[in-house]
Structure 1
Amino acid sequence: MKEVWKKQNRIIIKVFAGLCLFLTGMAGAEEKKVQRLDEVVVTADRMDEDVTHTPEKTTIDVETYQTVGTPQNICDIIRNQPVIDFRGATDLVPGDLVDGDDTIFMRGFGSNRFDTAMDGSTLRKSGGRNTYHIVDYSLLPPFLIEKVEILPGPHSALYPGKSIGGVVNLVTKAPQKYDTSKPDMALSASFKSYDTHNHSISLQGGAGNFIYDAGFQKYATDGYLRNAASDIDTVFGRIGYILSSDGYLTLTTSHTRAEREIPIRNDPDANYDDGHPVVKTSSYEEWQKPEWDESASSYRFTYHQPSPIGIWDLNAYYSEENWEKIYFRKNSQGIYDASWETEWYQQGGKLQDEIRFSDNHVMTIGADLGQYFDGDGRTDQKRIEIMSGFVQHRWRIIPRLTLTAGIRYEDVSIWVDNTKSNGDIYISGRPEWIERSWGEWSPKSFLTYELDDIAAGLRDTSVSLGISRIWKAPDWHGDYNPRGMPAGAWTEPEHGIGCDLVLSRRVSDDIQLKANYAYYEIKDYIAHNWDYAKYTPGSGNSVPPGMEYKDWLINLDKVIRHGLEIQLSGHLTDDLSFYLGYAYQTFENQGDEPAGETELDNQPENRVSAGLRYHLFENTLLLLDYKYEDEQIIQKSEEIGQDEWRFTEISTDAYHVFDLAVQQTLFKKWGFLNNGILKLYTNNLFDEDYENLSGYPATDQTYGVSLSLKF
């Protein structure tokens, strides 16, 4: 396996080096034609208006970003980025909980190892059960968000230790004054196959220094899989006051009610419905009628204040989620209702000050606190508490060399539930709630050198190196109470190092290249081990008192990840723009733990995303998207002797998917109406038969139409 990787790595390095030499030579030839110019555009920014790239991050303007179809949530906005891997069972049911996987992965990590934040403040919940599902993206409609910042890798001290894969930061719209009392309103309506509806209305207005925003989104679908209907309503409101010092205060609230069915088995050998695709891997049958119902509310206070000693930002929040899992089971007496309910509460805040000493020195210093509770039917018990402090300094050492360095201290406490539903104790001799605490410093760094002065052929070219410490405590439900078991009594934090080497280059005009090689070395990687556990009490397995569930989860000795992401985008002509993304990754378990094989499997090594945007006429835009993922290998284990396991590889086929849309601007102004846009689109244009998640056929060819306007 290592020899295969070494061979692949050599090929990738050669291709990467050849690509760099080719582009350097190409740009050098172009520079000869423009040497008479006194100034050129420097740094690694793309010049189109919807997506910009810098060595450290990618920024997407939500309002101007063009997608095939109508986005229901921010996953539909970011899923074409090479660092993001969409893993939903179907793209018709946002936030689906099929098989416990997240909707998106970042650099091969689930949401327990990358950070989703709003205005720099981490979004997470105390629960999640045995799923990742720390953030429900279906609760975050695009009209709430102005832009999305994607920061690959663990190199920012401003975000928590769980940001191993990186950060997705959602930036909300800043308040602005309005000249009239008439609010700005936006409407959109979308209809799609499988009785899918996506409708929204939003308005923004104000009077003097006071502002307000409101919005509503309705999403419903019958779903593609059997028993996969979804109905999600989200209401949003914000009031604010603009201060005379260019600062502002805002109070934001949102509420969501979601009902989502869970796909069931649809087996030709038993209880088959030929109106839906075959699904054999679901653990639910038709008679169980499984679904997840959710109610979620959040409240967020924001204070932004420029001052003589920096720009102060305070973000405080409180949120709660109520989940009800509805399904039936059988026993010797017949069918009974096995439904259960959980309540989760989150509260916290983040305060930071950005101090600009000069154009060459900018420091950010701050602290944040998060507390996460579980209403378990006995008491509202604190499950996680995270206190952090950080300082980060951006220093332009010389005109072409910039260093961003920082350090973060994180103190994490968790409370492990050690009590069974009947009141008995899981781990003998331990209390009902087992408290564990850790604290650690994590230095971060990211260095960028612009190569413009070295040679004419290296203008608008930069290289960057990020080297940062990884440290992540067991700070989510799947680490401390997976499947309700008290495995967190034994689990230790992960630690290691993450490195990124980035080449950014303007190839010509606004065509921008960004190539990023990433290396991770993570020790004590937390892995699910229940299939191989020796300390699980049960019939015929006597466990020494006090050692119960010791190996339900384990820390793998060491995991190494290699990855390469390449982005190329810009305009080929004034009317034709494109994007091209490629991602490669491998995970290697350096120990001999069987769980290391099954924990790190089912990840595509190669992914490609590409798209074209062509203005056929002044008011007519064609959109074409393409996605490729190679096969995914699933490791199935079989015990053939004491502590001896045999693994069988099962592959999920590679696939190619095309999406196509025609967008027509009907009018830019018509009476009191503005920007009337009609879009006709089809997803999975060639009806590819494929799977995003093993065992669940992805959605077949679908058609849709949407209409949006403002007034």
Structure 2
Amino acid sequence: MVVPVSCRAALIAAALVVLCALPALAEDVEQKDEVLDIGTVHVMERGARPVTLEPRRETIDIEEYELPGTPASVVDVLRTMPLVDFRQESDMVPEDDSVYLRGFDSTRFSTAMNGLTIRQSGGRKSSNIVDYGALIPLWMIGDIEILPGPHSALYPAKSFGGVLNIRPRVPSREELQDAQVNFSASYGSFNTASTHLDGHGGVDSVFYDLGVQRYTTDGYLRHTDAEIDTFYGRGGYLFEDDGFLTLSYLYVDADRNLAVANDPTQADFDDDYPHVDKDTPEFSDWQHPASDKVAQSVDLYFVKPTGMGEVSVAASHRTENRDRKYDEIPRGGGPVQDGSWNTKWEQRAVKLMDVVEINGENTLTVGVEGSQLLDGYGRTNWDSAYASHERVRTLAGFAEHNWDITPRLHLSLGARYESVETWTANVKSSGDKWISYKDDWINRTFDGFTPKSFLTWELDDVDASLRDTSVSVGVSRIWRAPDYHGNMNPQGRPTGAWLDPEHGMGYDLVLQRRLTGDITMKVDFSYYKIYDYMTYNRSFSVLPDYKDYQINLDEVEQKGVEIVLGGHLTDELAFTLGYAYIDMDSLGGELAGEQAVDQRAKHRVNAGLSYALTPQTTLIANYQFKDKQTTEIINYDRNTDVVDSHTEDLDAFHLFDFAVEHTLFDEWKGLSDGTVKVYVNNAFDERYQNVDGYPGTERNFGVSFSVSM
């Protein structure tokens, strides 16, 4: 019997749920690095895909995390988690906003550094809220904390899809005794190469980190070659009471060409590259499109235990200057002209927080957070462009109380008040106003209050069969203001003058259980009700003054399931298995609603294995399944009010990646940890499309080498 691929994924999920009901498979056993408290379960051995599972979060230990290939950015690690949906046109070149979290794009979840949210006003022919290719280098990350859902008061209200909190490593005093230099290099198919050198050291309580990296590729798709150069430096001081202060600087120079059509029916077809239909990409080869960027950031992070609790301050100043270059033919015809957009973004942000322990059973976290998002133009072909202007200003206060009601019952109650002020541009490139009776800048302020709650009950004392098992319930309010260029000024139109904030409720039911040894499973059922969901309505707009160019949908509903299972089957064999199901529906009947929730695979499976063949050699395998993605095609004739619609599907696909990693030497002539890895991605040469109709990368090979001194 042939089982459809979507059913196979569902059957895997069903099998995992059945496992959750089984009694514990073994009594206490001695396990290295294992914590037998269901609230926090660690899987820490090399090659085990070390992930800490908690009911409210999952934490990836980057230093120990094994991948078959050589990661180009933090996204290559995140995409192995079932929570994260990879959305890039090509996996060869890191892009901006290249992942969804629980089916939501970057406007509805947060990426943070040391708890401080990274974001921009965005827009200008791409979303550009977070550019993961211009984020902190992967080798400087200690761990990544993933918080699914809307249940934390510590992050912006827009974070109802969840949070990706990136935490740079902080050295211990023991690590400062000897300086260390690390070097790695890799080379693979499509002339893809990555080289990086980093150094770490310190004297007494002062420490430093320096690193450079260069990533280049010819790309798989036509005209997708790239060069990304990164410099990172950080200085810090360790206090005697485990507090610390760090100040870091990041500089990225990224030159990325953009995919173009490569249609066999066109005269400029090049059979050295895969076929890309002329209607799929935004550009043709004659336009020579590119997205060149220089990004810089200065970040301060301070943590200090005091008599009034542990005080922390995170502050950041980030700038990005992107030159999106391409040739174009004017709308009225005529010779080819430069259609480039040179855009500048700036973020200023600060977060002050205090964590106070009360009687050993209560922890109170209070804080304030603010940000300013500015943007402007460095070069345009119209006179009305502005050099720099504040587009979004946020100010928030938050509190979260964690209470151990009993040794087995834990409650988190939180609340966040947030004020969001926005400025919508109301001037055309000609200098005229879009809305004649409004100001040049339309200023609006939105206020939202979001209560949060999360309750965990550990069932150890209920029955022996429920040992190392917990159940959790999260109930929290959803709220989000129109705080993004694509909401305020899509295609330049001043839709921010009319939009209302999104609001609703989010619910999670989480079951977590240690099955045996360090093998642990977590199952999370989520349900969202979102009212006034913002979406584009350009194709169906009929009202004057752009009142319906972007609209608030009446109601959007989401149902989801996420399963994470992992640990050691034997001392040598470790595994992870993840499954995600998502179903989003627009319930208000708006034509734009169907398009707002399409292009999301209902079923996704991620799995990984690592096997220590010998103490020096490890075999690594990855598997990814993604269900079909359906696109709603709706044609609306305003003159006749006739609607013609149909759907188009991207087929489901399976990907397998394999690698062999071998330690050449532990110590040799002053060098240490010499390691070589040989890998193959898409080993069975699956033909697939990941998003927007672009062909996924064919089978490709590579080798990497790393050493320390």
TM class by shorter chain equals over 0.9
The reply on whether 1:320 has 2:319 as its aligned counterpart is yes
For the Cα contact (< 8 Å) 1:582–1:606, is it kept in 2?
Answer: yes
Q: Which residue of 2 aligns with 1:526?
A: 534
Cα offset, 1:182, TM superposition? 4.7
Q: Secondary structure at the match of 2:22?
A: helix
- CA deviation vs aligned residue, 1:641-689 (integer Å, no higher than 9, x gap): 7444232011111101000000001111223111111000010001100
Q: Secondary structure at the match of 1:82?
A: coil
Q: CA 1:48 to 1:588, structure 2 compared with 1: closer, same or farther past 3 Å?
A: same
- CA deviation vs aligned residue, 1:114-173 (integer Å, no higher than 9, x gap): 100000000001223353331011122211210000010010000011111100000111
Cα offset, 1:244, TM superposition? 3.5
Q: Secondary structure at the match of 1:596?
A: helix
CA distance in 2, matches of 1:279, 1:679: 33
Q: Secondary structure at the match of 2:92?
A: coil
CA distance in 2, matches of 1:592, 1:459: 47
The reply on whether 1:255 has 2:254 as its aligned counterpart is no
The reply on whether 1:108 has 2:103 as its aligned counterpart is yes
Q: CA 1:179 to 1:662, structure 2 compared with 1: closer, same or farther past 3 Å?
A: closer
Q: CA 1:175 to 1:508, structure 2 compared with 1: closer, same or farther past 3 Å?
A: closer
CA distance in 2, matches of 1:532, 1:489: 18
Q: Which moved more, 1:137-146 or 1:147-156?
A: 137-146
For the Cα contact (< 8 Å) 2:200–2:208, is it kept in 1?
Answer: yes
The reply on whether 1:474 has 2:482 as its aligned counterpart is yes
Cα offset, 1:208, TM superposition? 2.0
The reply on whether 1:85 has 2:85 as its aligned counterpart is yes
Question: 1:261-660 alignment to 2 at 5 Å?
Answer: 261-270=257-266, 271-280=268-277, 281-331=280-330, 332-376=333-377, 377-535=385-543, 543=544, 548-639=545-636, 642-660=640-658
- CA deviation vs aligned residue, 1:601-642 (integer Å, no higher than 9, x gap): 111001111111001111100001000111111100122674
CA distance in 2, matches of 1:480, 1:188: 44
Q: Secondary structure at the match of 2:419?
A: strand
1:185 to 181, 184, 190: 181
For the Cα contact (< 8 Å) 2:114–2:301, is it kept in 1?
Answer: no
CA distance in 2, matches of 1:215, 1:15: 42
Cα offset, 1:482, TM superposition? 1.3
Structure 2 gap segments, 5+ residues each = 1-5, 45-49, 378-384
- CA deviation vs aligned residue, 1:499-534 (integer Å, no higher than 9, x gap): 110000001111111100000000000011001111
For the Cα contact (< 8 Å) 2:35–2:42, is it kept in 1?
Answer: no
For the Cα contact (< 8 Å) 2:189–2:702, is it kept in 1?
Answer: yes
Q: Which residue of 2 aligns with 1:169?
A: 165
Q: CA 1:204 to 1:22, structure 2 compared with 1: closer, same or farther past 3 Å?
A: closer
1:209 counterpart letter in structure 2: S
CA distance in 2, matches of 1:481, 1:64: 43
- CA deviation vs aligned residue, 1:199-232 (integer Å, no higher than 9, x gap): 1111111122221111111111000000001110
For the Cα contact (< 8 Å) 2:227–2:254, is it kept in 1?
Answer: yes
Cα offset, 1:30, TM superposition? 3.8
Cα offset, 1:77, TM superposition? 1.2
- CA deviation vs aligned residue, 1:457-508 (integer Å, no higher than 9, x gap): 1000000001100000011111111122111111110000011100000011
- CA deviation vs aligned residue, 1:244-268 (integer Å, no higher than 9, x gap): 3332222111010001111001000
Q: Which residue of 2 aligns with 1:157?
A: 153
CA distance in 2, matches of 1:623, 1:458: 33
TM-score (norm 1): 0.93
Cα offset, 1:241, TM superposition? 2.0
For the Cα contact (< 8 Å) 1:178–1:207, is it kept in 2?
Answer: no
1:632 counterpart letter in structure 2: Q
CA distance in 2, matches of 1:40, 1:703: 38
- CA deviation vs aligned residue, 1:260-299 (integer Å, no higher than 9, x gap): 1110010000021000011111121111000101000100
Q: Which residue of 2 aligns with 1:137?
A: 132
Structure 1 gap segments, 5+ residues each = 1-7, 97-101, 536-542
Cα offset, 1:72, TM superposition? 1.7
For the Cα contact (< 8 Å) 1:130–1:478, is it kept in 2?
Answer: no
2:650 counterpart letter in structure 1: T
Question: 1:667-686 alignment to 2 at 5 Å?
Answer: 667-686=665-684
The reply on whether 1:710 has 2:705 as its aligned counterpart is no
Q: What is the alpha-carbon root mean square deviation over aligned residues?
A: 2.0
Q: Which residue of 2 aligns with 1:539?
A: none
CA distance in 1, matches of 2:165, 2:440: 37
1:135 counterpart letter in structure 2: V
Aligned residues: 680
Question: 1:53-72 alignment to 2 at 5 Å?
Answer: 53-72=53-72
For the Cα contact (< 8 Å) 1:178–1:205, is it kept in 2?
Answer: no
CA distance in 1, matches of 2:20, 2:326: 58
